[in-house]
Structure 1
Amino acid sequence: MSPHTLFTASCNFESARQVGLLPSGHKAHGLHGHSFLAKIRADLPAAWAPFPGAEVHALGERLAACTGQLDYRLINEVLGSQAPTDENIARWLRDQLVSQQGVPGLEQVGIQSTADQGVDLDRHDQAHVWRRYRFQSAHKLPNVPIGHKCGRLHGHGFEVIVHANQDAGGRDISIDYDHLDEIWAPFHYQLNHKYLNAIEGLSNPTSEVIAAWLWDRLKVVLPELSWVTVYETGSCGANFNGSAYRIWKEMTLDSALFLRHAPDSDPLSHIHGHTYTLRLHLSAPLDEVMGWTVDFGDVKDRFNPIFKALDHHPLHELPGLDDCDAASLAQWVLAQGRRSLPQLDRVDLYETRGCGAIALGDQEGPALPV
């Protein structure tokens, strides 16, 4: 496989914990529970899986073997003297995956303790902490061509993810989620149930402009801030890190396939199917007039011929596709998509939630929830 392919897997587990190192009044100090999601990314060598194309399945099996030791357990009993913070659970999983399951090339181990918060720990013990917030607002884009739907006054249930990176250095907690909540509170007051165009600095409130507006104000009070993500809808949004803009567009595909290299005894050799989640990431300079990098509508229109070739079709009949595994398909989409969308630099393709491959053309960018 290409060295620019990362394989991903995820697994849910239900566990209780008590984080006693937190102050007695902290909501996580007492005994409580979560529906956790563990996520991993690995740069796997070519011959690691039982056969080419089995990487995602094999990675998922090994992750499940580890999270099974935490499922319906009190995590304190499993981790022993380590406090069961998201950071320490991620470290424990990383150690288990390497020492007990022999998983090579681990780039990232993440713990999502709720749908709105998590920590992604990389191999250098750098903690990427994120927390999701929501606000309900109206806006319009004043510079779009006449007839463009976004030129009309309309509204969104916006979502914002505040990302913060810190060298955890083995510490139990890098950045407390409650600290992020305190920082976000005044921004929620400014933005929620408001007309964004009337706010100073947001006269042209595209997702990119909102992300940059938030960055300028959050960075002052949160030096660890690494990205600001703004979801305009559930399927598209923008990221900003102080200098570079990225956008993404997400869609689902319902497709049939089989894996050519799977032995006859393996179910993956049989015709089967997935409802894929496909996420396109694009990087481009900001258009100072339009206030966006690429119009989300243009992304959809230019990618539509590729989408139609994939959706409700047998993938094994696609010309130029070596095999139908997630990595091969993600790389195929990246190559095909760049012909009409040269700004495309990353493709995420998930066969099931969080299980699939990431094809990287350039920088990886921020980790987003799956």
Structure 2
Amino acid sequence: MPIKTLHCAASGFESACEVSLLPAGHRSRRLHGHSFLATLRAELPAGWAAFEGGEVERLRADLESRTAQLDYRLLNDIVAQPTDENLARWIRSQLDAPGITQLGIQSTAHGGVDLDAAGQAHVWRRYLFQAAHRLPNVPLGHKCGRMHGHGFEVIVHANQDLGARDLSIDYDHLDDCWAPLHHELNYGCLNDLPGLQNPTSELMSSWIWERLKPTLPELSWITVYETASCGANFDGRHHRIWKEFTLDSALQLRHAPDGSPLRRIHGHTYTLRLHLAAPLDTLMGWTVDFGDVKTLFDPIFKALDHRPLHEIEGLADCDTATLAAWILKQARAVLPMVDRVDLYETRGCGAIVIADRAEAQAGLAIPI
């Protein structure tokens, strides 16, 4: 099975800034500060790192060396107008890593900008609402058939390069577009809303898309979190879902040089995310039942969780790229619709493996 592998790294920095091109009275015109997070994805050539399996460590070190120039600094001394987009472009221009497919800046827990491989900027914003719902078409006894509730999250992505504004799209504009929807959704019963009689995550994502697109032509992606560990994406054409797991596992890297701490037995709390694509079931309103994903993947999960990964038969090494590719192969044997696996050993640092057929629909990052 041909796969595409992306290595991922992240680095935080603390900085102050002011953005004078914003309208008079805007809060970000004043001197203020953020805890920024820079994220990086790259399709790296063989032999780029000092040893096979050392790609994440080198990528993280390269990114940290660039963000160190911004840490505890006034960003205006380096970037004239330090918007998230301009900071991302500056960091991107400083990096030497080959094959960069995405460079992101997250300035708050609820917003950021991602540059894609073509250099186009996608701004995103996270929104929260509290609501009840039930799924009316599930089999008798299915827990989602009962009325229940969630603290939902929605992430709105918009392609700034599709707009014609002098300032592109800022977070306030996204807030204005989202506000009427928040009024409808928050503290309500989703089944009572026209068009949401069957409020699955997939149908919610396309329902939101249809209502936002007329006022936000630059809309490129909707992400709906039903819970903290599962949700759906919609890009105007395709529905995709993901299911997230946490693994607490031990490992050692066989190819790490003598004396490297990575050669020793150590451990991580991994974040593992399975992505699945399947036709939308018009009756059920979903692509795949999240419960089925959890049940079918459970034997693979148990083979990894609270285990020494380096003792797994047939696993060539325990770097995140090799491990994610192994998980993808095992998962597809029981869930053929799995076409991508994200595996992070620490926040933002790890690997993504994508099945060849899924590359065109791989989508944007789900913010971490």
State the match for 1:67 in structure 2: 67
Q: TM-score with structure 1 length normalisation?
A: 0.96
Cα pair 2:3 2:353 within 8 Å, conserved: no
Amino acid at match of 1:345: D
Amino acid at match of 1:155: G
Partner of residue 98 from structure 2, selected from 101, 104, 113:
104
Partner of residue 256 from structure 2, selected from 246, 262, 265:
262
Which residues of 2 match residues 147-226 of structure 1 at below 5 A?
Answer: 147-167=141-161, 173-226=167-220
Segments of 5+ residues of structure 1 without an aligned counterpart are none
1:168: how far off?
A: 7.4
1:163: how far off?
A: 0.9
Does structure 1 residue 249 correspond to structure 2 residue 243?
yes
Q: TM-score with structure 2 length normalisation?
A: 0.96
1:39: how far off?
A: 0.2
Amino acid at match of 1:41: R
Cα pair 2:162 2:218 within 8 Å, conserved: no
Cα pair 2:278 2:287 within 8 Å, conserved: yes
Cα pair 1:125 1:167 within 8 Å, conserved: no
Distance across 1 between alignment mates of 2:90 and 2:166? 12
Amino acid at match of 2:351: A
RMSD value, Cα = 1.5
Tell me the alpha carbon deviations over residues 148-188 of structure 1, each in whole angstroms, 9 at most, x when there is no partner.
Answer: 1000110000000111113279x985311100000000000
Distance across 2 between alignment mates of 1:3 and 1:85? 35
1:122: how far off?
A: 2.1
State the match for 2:35 in structure 1: 35
Amino acid at match of 1:85: T
Q: How many residues align?
A: 363
Amino acid at match of 1:366: L
Cα pair 1:274 1:351 within 8 Å, conserved: yes
Distance across 1 between alignment mates of 2:168 and 2:240? 26
Does structure 1 residue 319 correspond to structure 2 residue 313?
yes
Does structure 1 residue 95 correspond to structure 2 residue 89?
no
SS in structure 1 at match of 2:78: helix
Distance across 1 between alignment mates of 2:252 and 2:162? 42
1:27: how far off?
A: 1.5
Cα pair 1:87 1:173 within 8 Å, conserved: no
Identical residues among aligned pairs (%) = 67
Distance across 1 between alignment mates of 2:185 and 2:162? 32
Shift in alpha-carbon separation, 1:168–1:142, aligned structure 2, 3 A: closer
Distance across 1 between alignment mates of 2:117 and 2:288? 33
Partner of residue 341 from structure 1, selected from 335, 340, 343:
335
Cα pair 1:4 1:360 within 8 Å, conserved: yes
Distance across 2 between alignment mates of 1:168 and 1:160? 21
Shift in alpha-carbon separation, 1:354–1:139, aligned structure 2, 3 A: same
Cα pair 1:127 1:174 within 8 Å, conserved: no
Shift in alpha-carbon separation, 1:327–1:238, aligned structure 2, 3 A: same
Distance across 2 between alignment mates of 1:199 and 1:44? 47
Amino acid at match of 1:175: I
Amino acid at match of 2:23: P
Segments of 5+ residues of structure 2 without an aligned counterpart are none
SS in structure 2 at match of 1:23: coil
Amino acid at match of 2:61: E
Cα pair 1:262 1:268 within 8 Å, conserved: yes
State the match for 2:229 in structure 1: 235
Amino acid at match of 1:86: D
Which residues of 2 match residues 301-316 of structure 1 at below 5 A?
Answer: 301-316=295-310
